[in-house]
Structure 1
Amino acid sequence: MIQQAIAQVISPYFEPLFSPHSYGYRPHKRASQAVNHVQSCVKQGYKTAVDIDLSKFFDEVNHDMLMNRVGRKVKDKALMRLLGKYLRAGIAERETGLWFESTKGVPQGGPLSPLLSNILLDELDKKLTYKHLKFARYADDIIILVKTKSEGLIIQREITAFITQRLKLKVNESKSRVGPVSGSKFLGFTFRYAQVQIHEQALKKFKANVRELTNRNWGISMTLQIHKLTQYLRGWGHYYLIANAYQLTVDLDHWIRRRIRMCYWRQWRKPRTKVRSLMKLGVSERLAIACGITSKGPCRSSKTKGINIALGNDYLASQGLVSLKDIWINIHYGR
Structure 2
Amino acid sequence: MANTSNKVREFQRKLYLRSKQEPDQAFYSLYDKICRFDILWDAFYLCKANKGAAGVDGVRFEDLNSIETSGKLIKTLRAELVEGRYRPLPVKRVQIPKDNGKTRNLGIPSIRDRIVQMACTLVLSPVFEPHFHCNSYGYRPKRSAQDAVICINGYLKQGYQQVYDADLSKFFDTIPHSRLLDKVRSKVTDRAVLRLIKLFLKAPISEPTAKGKSRIVGNPIGTPQGGVISPLLANIYLNDFCRKIATKTPCKIISYADDFVILSKTPFNSAQQDWIKNELEQEGLKLNEDKTHIVDMTQVGNEFDFLGFTFKYIVGFIQHTNYVKIYPSKKSQKKYKDKLRSIVKHRTSLTLDQLVERVNRVVRGWKNYFGKVGYPRQVFFKMDWFLVARFYRWSRSRSQRRSLYLAQDAWNKLHKAGLVYLQPTKMKTAKVSR
Within 5 Å, which residues of 2 pair with 1:234-245?
234-241=364-371, 242-245=373-376
Establish whether residue 176 from structure 1 lines up as the match of residue 292 from structure 2: yes
Deviations 1:110-156 (A, max 9, x none): 3200000000000111011112321210000111112343x254432
Establish whether residue 5 from structure 1 lines up as the match of residue 103 from structure 2: no
Determine which of 394, 414, 428 is the counterpart of 1:263. Answer: 394
Alignment partners' CA distance in 1, 2:137 and 2:361: 25
Higher RCO (CA-CA < 8 Å; seq separation 6+): 1
Which residue does the alignment assign to 2:220?
103
Establish whether residue 253 from structure 1 lines up as the match of residue 384 from structure 2: yes
Deviations 1:210-257 (A, max 9, x none): 222211112211111111111001101111223302122222212211
Indicate conservation of the 8 Å contact 1:50/1:152, yes or no: no
| Letter matched to residue 136 of structure 1 | I
| Letter matched to residue 253 of structure 1 | D
Tell me the TM-score normalised to structure 2 length: 0.64
Which residue does the alignment assign to 2:338?
208
Cα 1:112–1:70 change in 2 (3 A) is same
SS of alignment partner, residue 178 of structure 1 = strand
Establish whether residue 19 from structure 1 lines up as the match of residue 133 from structure 2: yes
Question: Greater helix percent: which structure?
Answer: 1
| Letter matched to residue 257 of structure 1 | V
Within 5 Å, which residues of 2 pair with 1:48-67?
48-67=162-181
Alignment partners' CA distance in 1, 2:254 and 2:156: 12
| Letter matched to residue 185 of structure 2 | G
Percent identity of paired positions between Structure 1 and Structure 2: 33
- How many residue pairs match? The answer is 292
Quote the offset at 1:159 in angstroms. 1.1
Alignment partners' CA distance in 1, 2:208 and 2:164: 29
Establish whether residue 163 from structure 1 lines up as the match of residue 280 from structure 2: yes
Establish whether residue 310 from structure 1 lines up as the match of residue 409 from structure 2: yes
Alignment partners' CA distance in 2, 1:202 and 1:153: 32
| Letter matched to residue 189 of structure 1 | F
Establish whether residue 219 from structure 1 lines up as the match of residue 345 from structure 2: no
Alignment partners' CA distance in 1, 2:120 and 2:357: 38
Indicate conservation of the 8 Å contact 1:156/1:178, yes or no: no
Indicate conservation of the 8 Å contact 2:139/2:257, yes or no: yes
Which residue does the alignment assign to 1:185?
305
Quote the offset at 1:108 in angstroms. 2.5
Which residue does the alignment assign to 2:183?
69
Which residue does the alignment assign to 1:232?
362
Deviations 1:283-311 (A, max 9, x none): xxxxxxxxx3xxx4xxxx3x31xx33121
Comparing 203-212 with 61-70, greater Cα deviation is found at: 203-212
Cα 1:180–1:197 change in 2 (3 A) is farther
Deviations 1:149-170 (A, max 9, x none): 3x254432211110112x1112
Which residue does the alignment assign to 2:421?
323
Which residue does the alignment assign to 1:281?
none
SS of alignment partner, residue 166 of structure 2 = strand
Tell me the TM-score normalised to structure 1 length: 0.81
Indicate conservation of the 8 Å contact 1:32/1:239, yes or no: yes
Cα 1:154–1:41 change in 2 (3 A) is farther
Comparing 249-258 with 77-86, greater Cα deviation is found at: 249-258
Establish whether residue 44 from structure 1 lines up as the match of residue 158 from structure 2: yes
Indicate conservation of the 8 Å contact 2:254/2:261, yes or no: yes
Which residue does the alignment assign to 1:146?
264
Cα 1:152–1:41 change in 2 (3 A) is farther
Determine which of 101, 115, 118 is the counterpart of 2:232. Answer: 115
Alignment partners' CA distance in 1, 2:358 and 2:344: 10
Indicate conservation of the 8 Å contact 2:370/2:376, yes or no: no
| Letter matched to residue 410 of structure 2 | L
Comparing 28-37 with 222-231, greater Cα deviation is found at: 222-231
Cα 1:54–1:92 change in 2 (3 A) is farther
RMSD value, Cα: 2.0
SS of alignment partner, residue 20 of structure 1 = coil
Which residue does the alignment assign to 2:18?
none
Unaligned runs of 5+ in 1: 272-291, 328-335
Deviations 1:246-283 (A, max 9, x none): 1222222122112112212322x3x4xxxxxxxxxxxx
Quote the offset at 1:7 in angstroms. 1.1
